[in-house]
Amino acid sequence: MKTELILLRHGETEWNSQNRLQGHRDSPLNAEGQRQADALAARLASTAARAPFQALYCSDLGRAVETARRIASRTGHAVTQDARLRERGLGIMEGLTREEARERHPDVFAEYSAGAPDYVVPGGESTSQRLRHAVECLEELGARHAGARIVVVTHGGVLSLLFRHSLGIPTAAPRTFSVLNAGWNQFDYHDGAFRLVTWGDVTHLHADSRDDT
């Protein structure tokens, strides 16, 4: 039996609006991010009669937790946190804008930008490490909720990695797709594999959404 995984990116944060690298550090949802999270909650609540979901999971980072709690306040689900759904740890670059990271850590930023899967940012982790954690978690959830639909609130980097993983796109290939705040993405999990169904749906926002640049 397939499991429907509705994977949501958290709402916009203060650091998103400033183009700062967040990683494992955190920044609260700004006013727009709160509106976006409430729009996700309203969409999930309004579709519950014809497309109910069984469980609500999220990363343990504050921006994902706040988004999930706003959803739960409308749908009544308990929120289960899992650190394996975290954003990639970016170590010494966390809290810096991309311009600041390029200026202060030019070699690190160049390696990071090149996208080599096994490059570990000092104080952080590699994309292959983060993908392994996320896939392990989602496979467990897919098996646990076989035949059902679940909602997972996670991060742009995790979603980008899963998109590439499911379609066989190398990590180092230039990103030619958007990863939008509060975007609605569906993957079906069946026979140990992920199948992309919906990507980047933000119709519930009735407005533009910020890309994970």
Query: In the structure, what pLDDT confidence band is assigned to residue 210 with cuts at 50, 70 and 90?
Result: confident
43-80, pLDDT tens digit by residue? 999 988 889 999 999 999 999 999 999 999 999 999 99
For residue 74, the SS3 value is helix
pTM, whole model, 2 decimals? 0.96
Which residues neighbour 17 within 8 Å (Cβ) at sequence distance 6 or greater? 30, 32, 210
Query: In the structure, what pLDDT confidence band is assigned to residue 88 with cuts at 50, 70 and 90?
Result: very high
Average pLDDT over residues 187-206: 96
Q: Class of 3-87+126-201 per CATH?
A: alpha beta
- Residue ranges covered by each domain of the chain: 3-87+126-201
Catalytic residues, which ones? 10, 87
CA distances from 12 to 2, 112, 130, 140 (A): 31, 23, 21, 28
User: Sheet of 184-190: strands edge to edge?
Assistant: 79-81, 55-58, 149-154, 3-9, 184-190, 193-201
